[in-house]
Structure 1
Amino acid sequence: MVVNRVTPVGDTQDPHATPGSGFGSLPLIRWGRELWLLPILLLAAAVRFYDLTAAAIWGDEGSSLLLARYSLAGIWQHAAFDVHPPLYFMLLHGWIELFGDGIFALRCLSALAGIAAVGLGVWLVDRLATRRAAIIAGVLLALLPTAVRYSQEVRMYSLLGLLLIAATLALVYWIRRPQRHRYLVFYALLMSAAFYTHYFAVLAALCHWVYLGLIRVQHGYRFRHIQRASWWLANLAIVALYLPWLPNLLDLMQHMEQLKVGGDVGWEDPVTLSSLPSMVWSWLIQDDGEQLPLPVFLALPLALLVLAAVAVVRDRSVSRGSVLLALYTGLPLVLVFAVSWITPVFIERYLTAYALGLPLLAALAIDRLYSRVRVLALAVLVSLIAVEMVGVNNNATVDSNDQLDHVVNYVNQHFQPGDRIVTSDMLWYLSYVYYDRTGAQVRLYTPPTADGHSTRPNEYGFGTLVTADVYLDSLAELPGKDRVWLVGTFGDPGEFPSLPKAWQASGEVHAGGVQARLFVTKSAAE
């Protein structure tokens, strides 16, 4: 089988070695050839570990921590009512057992997964193209802002990217050597793990099937892998491994209304035509770009589309690896955008795993441009790195004094026995309890609506993490309420609209969008 290599597959010679002069024997040159991946991994680690603890734990991260506190059986049970499968939370549970629940340790799990994904992305491009393309891909992937951001959160998105890139790599190895069934075993295990990590993993499976279908009907050399019994058996194995979770998924789909009521789905704004280019800008600069002049706003997404076309059109390999990366990056983006006209799910973090394909695809295009128009290729590379650096800087722009933890630490320091703490919103509650050191039960304010309907979350989504005794329908119901801390959105008096007349404001602290106000009763004040 012909591959895009100078050296035949299986040859023990280094296909990237430069023949000729004795300079290749110099220690520095040898070191550069053997350890070329190390600087890329160090770059990936530097941007992911930089200020890893600067941003406070936010609501989604707090939900991860609450769920990870359960036993493995409890995680399985409660994840069945959540919008995400259980694998990440089980791994986080074990991680906490080993390394504790400090914020640095917690976020290290995602950071390490993100660094590993960079390494595997480089490996994947190295199999599909040249060493030069692999190095370019490594630099661009290491700096990809959306990947950096979600490598710094206590959520499953970084792990999902790692699993899907690894599965795609296993697929490439199997396509080249279909008689090596171990690659399909790896593929089945990795894809099964991805399905247990996030429901959007199904989009990667779809990309793989479409890719195998395309190389089956392409002109010239046709790959018949999609017809092989081993491929079908591997996918049947994925289904079999997922069967224990399937009833939970079906139940969740039947209760989408409960998830919408609780605000766990359906909260995203409806998409518009600008949402698609906005997503590309978000991937690259961590800003939707909609404040930019229209020509600039459209220029970057269109330029990336042109790069994708260059990568695909200039691909002379029989396996058409650039098509695989184009599908992996573009198909989920377009499908989720289309579905979001019906049900809004066009959310950056849900698609971050697929954004990892963007720098890999760009690297293939730059490498192929370099062979013909070197100046243009270098200009494109420098421009992309500059754009990504803007996003990396935006990620790192965190005011550590403007965070929820400052509010909670203030309450911790000024807390007195018998004080009550009430939060106004589920997301504030989820993050507050991580920092709370008072030992008091933190309550969640859920006043009935004007027509008497309860605002308590149901058992689906975040509601599965909160027991009924946490909810507080009326501030007057608080026992021993001489001193009460009310925690909510800064400058929003509507969150606690009906304060008891006997309460007097005694203190206040705020940081950014959150505030804590201390109230005492008149009798206590006297």
Structure 2
Amino acid sequence: MKGNPQARWLMLGLSSAVLIALGLRVYYAIYMPVWLDEALSWRLASMDWTEMWYRLQETGTVHPPLYFALLRLQMALLGDNPWALRWLSVICGTLLVPAAYWFALECLRSAGRGVSAHGQSLPVGVGMLAAWLVALNPMQIHLCCQARGYALALFLVVATSSLVLRALRETRHVWLLWSAYVLLTLAAWYTHYLTMLSSAVQWLYALAVLLIPKCYLFTGTVSTSDPSQPQPVCGWKLTGLGVSVLTVIAGFIPWASICWTQLSHARVAWHRPLMPAELTGEWGRALAGSFFDPPHFELNVLDIGVVLVVALASVWAVLRVRPAGYLLLLQAWLPPVLLGIVSWLSPRNVYSARYFFAAEFTWIILLAMLILDSVWQWERWIISLVALILMTIALATRSDWQYLGKSVGMAAVRDYIAEQWQDGDIVLAENPADFLVARYYFRACEIPVYLYGTSSSRQGYRGRTHLLDDDLCTREQLVQWRPQRIWYLRSGAYGVFPRLDLPEPWKNQETRAFARPFYLEGPLYLTRYRRQDK
């Protein structure tokens, strides 16, 4: 590196991207309010191992166990403040920056476009631009700063995709590469179910490359001096692929029946069919928007433009970066298309930008390739700079930045109640979503928080939302406890729940509204009731 200035500039650029990515994600993870899904993760990881294992097998979870097991270990070491909950996601999100560089290089090298002797080839530039775009992308920052498994799952998907490309290209240490691929793929499957789509894409791609190498579509993947004779290396690679696939499937068998039960009984927040404008709106939100922005229910020119640019980049990749272009094409389009079909044909709308985590990452790689291989060299850096500026503007103009470091939502409710708290008060939540978030924010206070419901609904609430038996306060218990004041939390963002039906003698005194940064949660309403004995 001492005699290679290009290598020094490469290391400087990549290190700068990693440091900026880490700084943005740490700042966001420390100051962004905790929302429902993160409260669910906290509740599961707060249970003992036996209880957590039992709850992870319930139909209301719809998540495999690996991330929650790691989160529980993490909480045992660091605590349960917002930064401690999000630490693993922040680290994985930061590692995605060099992973983007590596993945871009593997894609281009698989097409025979390796680094030149002077280090000025296309792969280095594409990898660097992809790394910077990932570092600054708003959706990447938001998903990688949540106490959920998205960041870990995405890192594993990118790593396994890179390993597949390397294993198909290398002739040495192939079994070592396939062994690493098996371990990381199993970890991905046990982290998030949507990673199975990426694995299916990788297997189809590898089979196509190994079985039809002489087809025009895969020109340059495998070459032999005698086309009539099979290549010996190809047979070994095909064996490695087959053993890897069978090992992954066998390793997931213990959880397969639970996975099928959970997916067949999956519940989502939006029980409505997919609207046409959402098809493009979620793409625009994923690539240049924020996870906290509301979905688009009307056609938007910018969203349509995003889809067209991604489509252009996909076609370019197929034509210019064969065979890896097919892997990029499938990873970019298969998840959104399948989720769109499911949402269109059923009342369960699962078409959300957060579920495009693997596809959206691939879009960034495609855009970097399109920019740096479609224009003259002096124009590449100008367009790259413009792309980075636009991504920075998209990041800086996100509305949720105004909430960072401020007491909003449930934190503001906690502070307001704590200021006026009196002995004998009680806090009730109308629905399980608000209850779990309240439990997280009130965990350090000696303020009782309960979910208000009927005794007949206890088991339904418990199995659906990871509630414990002592979380529910029934009407009969409320009459028995006779609190002096009741603080009642409600919001209609997660469905229609019954309004509070308090028995005499509690009367409504006041209602306050508190804004929350995430559109799915909606505003939070706090009503205070006082007992008025005759």
Task: Report SS of the residue matched to 2:451.
Answer: strand
**Matching of residues 3-402 of structure 1 within 5 Å:** 25=3, 31-81=8-58, 82-129=61-108, 130-177=123-170, 179=172, 180-215=174-209, 216-217=211-212, 218-219=215-216, 220-221=219-220, 224=234, 228-253=238-263, 256=265, 259=266, 264-265=267-268, 267-283=270-286, 284-286=288-290, 287=293, 290=296, 294-315=300-321, 320-343=323-346, 344-370=349-375, 372=376, 374-375=378-379, 378-379=382-383, 382-383=386-387, 385-387=389-391, 389-394=393-398, 396-399=400-403, 400-402=406-408
How high is the sequence identity, in percent, across the aligned residues? 22
How far apart, CA to CA, are the structure 2 residues paired with 1:92 and 1:443?
25
Q: Which amino acid aligns with 2:502?
A: L
Give the gaps of 5 or more residues in structure 2.
109-122, 223-233, 516-522
**Cα distance, 1:31 vs structure 2:** 3.3
Question: Which residue number in structure 1 is paired with residue 453 of structure 2?
Answer: 446
Mark the CA change 1:268 to 1:137 in structure 2 (over 3 Å): closer, same or farther. Answer: farther
* Structure 1 pair 58–85 and aligned structure 2 pair: CA distance change class (3 A): same
Using the size of structure 1 for normalisation, the TM-score is 0.83
Closer, same or farther: CA 493–520 of 1 in aligned 2, 3 Å: farther
Work out the CA distance in 1 between the residues paired with 2:145 and 2:433. 19
Q: CA deviation at 1:145?
A: 1.7
Secondary structure of 1:405's aligned partner: helix
Q: Using a 3 Å threshold, how does the CA distance of structure 1 residues 291 and 60 change in structure 2: closer, same or farther?
A: closer
Contact 2:462 2:468 in 1 (8 A): no
User: Partner of 2:230 in structure 1?
Assistant: none
What SS class does the counterpart of residue 146 from structure 2 fall into? coil
Asked if the contact 1:482/1:520 (under 8 Å) is kept, the reply is yes
Counterpart amino acid of 1:187?
A: Y
- 1:429 is matched with which residue? 435
Count of paired positions: 484
Residue 282 (structure 1) shift: 0.9
Give the secondary-structure state (helix, strand or coil) at the position aligned to 1:397.
helix
Q: CA deviation at 1:338?
A: 1.6
Q: Would you say the 8 A contact 2:310–2:366 is kept in 1?
A: no
Q: Measure, in 2, the Cα distance between the counterparts of 1:486 and 1:225.
A: 67
Q: Who is 2:414 aligned against?
A: 408
Tell which deviates more after alignment, 178-187 or 382-391. 382-391
Compute the displacement of 1:76 (Å): 2.1
Which amino acid in structure 2 is aligned with residue 61 of structure 1? E
Name the SS for the 2:487 alignment partner: strand
Structure 1: distance between partners of 2:103 and 2:506:
63
Q: Which runs of 4+ in 1 moved over 6 A?
A: 490-494
> 1:63 and 1:158, CA in 2 relative to 1: closer, same or farther beyond 3 A?
same
Contact 1:110 1:153 in 2 (8 A): yes
TM-aligned CA deviation for residue 477 of structure 1: 3.6
Query: What's 1:9 paired with?
Result: none
Is the Cα contact below 8 Å between 1:111 and 1:152 reproduced in 2? yes
Residue 84 of structure 1 deviates from its aligned partner by 0.7
Q: Is the 8 A contact 1:268 1:345 kept in 2?
A: no
| Distance in structure 2 (CA, Å) of the matches to 1:104 and 1:266 | 26
Instruction: Please report how far the alpha carbon of residue 412 of structure 1 lies from its aligned counterpart in structure 2 after TM superposition.
Output: 3.2
Which stretches in structure 1 are left out of the alignment for 5+ residues?
1-13, 15-23
Q: Deviations over 1:413-467 (max 9, x none)?
A: 433333222101111011110111333542112259xxxx8486355442xx112
AA aligned to 1:128 is: C
Provide the secondary structure at the position in 1 that maps to 2:397: helix
Q: 1:346 to 1:291 in 2, by over 3 A?
A: closer
SS at match of 1:438: coil
Q: Is the 8 A contact 1:54 1:398 kept in 2?
A: no
Q: What RMSD over aligned residues (CA atoms) do the two structures have, in Å?
A: 3.0
Kept after mapping to 1: 8 A contact 2:314/2:328: no
1:124 deviation in Å? 1.3
1:451-494, Cα deviation, whole Å (9 max, x unpaired):
xx8486355442xx112332234275451322222122399998
Contact 1:145 1:395 in 2 (8 A): no
- The amino acid of 1:469's aligned partner reads D
Going from structure 1 to structure 2, the CA distance change for 1:300 and 1:225 (only over 3 Å counts) comes to farther
- Alignment-mate amino acid for residue 445 of structure 1: Y
C-alpha separation in 1, matches of 2:492 and 2:171: 60
Aligned to 2:519: none
- Partner Cα distance (2:271, 2:138) in 1: 21
CA distance in 1 between counterparts of 2:502 and 2:85 reads 38
Q: Deviations over 1:90-149 (max 9, x none)?
A: 111011111111112222221111011122111111233310111111111112221111
- Partner AA of 1:430 in structure 2: L
Local SS of the residue matching 1:152: coil
Larger CA deviation: 466-475 vs 320-329: 466-475
Deviates more, 1:344-353 or 1:356-365: 344-353
More deviation, 490-499/153-162: 490-499
Judge which range, 137-146 or 85-94, deviates more: 137-146
- Cα drift, residue 496 of structure 1: 3.4
Say whether the 8 Å CA contact 2:154–2:358 is kept in structure 1: yes
Find the aligned partners of 2:370 and 2:450 in 1 and give their Cα distance. 54
Q: For the residues of structure 2 that align with 1:423 and 1:285, how far apart are their CA atoms?
A: 32
| Equivalence for 2:507 | 504
In 2: Cα distance, 1:211 partner to 1:197 partner? 23
**1:501 Cα shift?**
3.8
